[in-house]
Amino acid sequence: MEITPDPIDEALKPTGLLRLGSFQPKESDGVPGYQEKCSLVLVGNAGPEMWRVFSSSSLDQNDQNPLDNWSRQVLGDLSQVLAQRLGVSVQALFPFDGPPYMPFQGWALRSGTVHPSPIGPMIHEIYGLWHAYRGALLIAAEIKGDAPEQITSPCLPCAEKPCLTTCPVDAFSQAGYDLPACLDLLEEHPNGDCLSASCLARRACPVGRAFIYEPAHARFHMEKFLKSHRP
């Protein structure tokens, strides 16, 4: 069966979430519940809409993982609604279920919408480093007209690569990402720029600057990130 992306976009609209890409998985993509001729749709946030819907929701914001709980509820409900509307099975998968975690970044690369950045997160031509995945929908149908144009990485023409030189503790090097150094800095400066306005290295990237998270959204992620490693 073939479907268009329109009913998916329409169902996502009230959640503030976006369809960030899709592809037809092969068995080797490690998609749980894989079957032939199905599509995996990556769903996530870019821009302020998801944060606005989430932060005005009635879920307990003091819970350990309120955004994960919200994503599970919203995408769980949405997959039931879509399954009914489309008449095919729809299953929601989540990036935070694990370990072992599902390879969301590998899936994002397969969708052809992003490229690896020098500092870890995938980079999007428009949203830059300011997008993340809140889930994926495994739909038992092929999606028509969803192939993205072939784009080269926005990091290729970037000669300066300020993302690699801006971190105050040089957390990004050939050796990879120095998580302890990053966490030490966040812990030592609870009112510092990285904690209150998000990672300085990410903010140094010239791509997608209009999509830099709003202060409340940025702080929420950075505090959760710190707390999950240094409770």
The residues binding ligand B12 (CB under 6 A) are: 95, 101-106, 109, 116, 119-122, 131-133, 177, 179, 199, 221, 225
Angle between helices 179-188 and 215-229 (to 10 degrees): 110
Nearest residue to ligand B12, scored by beta-carbon proximity: 120
- Minimum separation from the CB atom of position 38 to ligand B12 (A): 19
Q: Give me 170's structure tokens.
A: 């040089």
- Minimum separation from the CB atom of position 34 to ligand B12 (A): 15
Specify the residue, 132 or 140, whose C-beta has the smaller distance to ligand B12.
132
CB burial of residue 39 (10 Å; 0-12, 13-18, 19+):
buried
Specify the residue, 3 or 123, whose C-beta has the smaller distance to ligand B12.
123
- Minimum separation from the CB atom of position 135 to ligand B12 (A): 9
DSSP calls for 66-127 = HHHHHHHHHHHHHHHHHHHHHTS-EEEE-TTSTTTTP-HHHHHHHTTSEEE-TTSSEEETTT
Q: Which of 122, 107, 139, 97 is nearest to 12 (CA)?
A: 139
Specify the residue, 85 or 219, whose C-beta has the smaller distance to ligand B12.
219
Specify the residue, 57 or 105, whose C-beta has the smaller distance to ligand B12.
105
- Minimum separation from the CB atom of position 86 to ligand B12 (A): 25
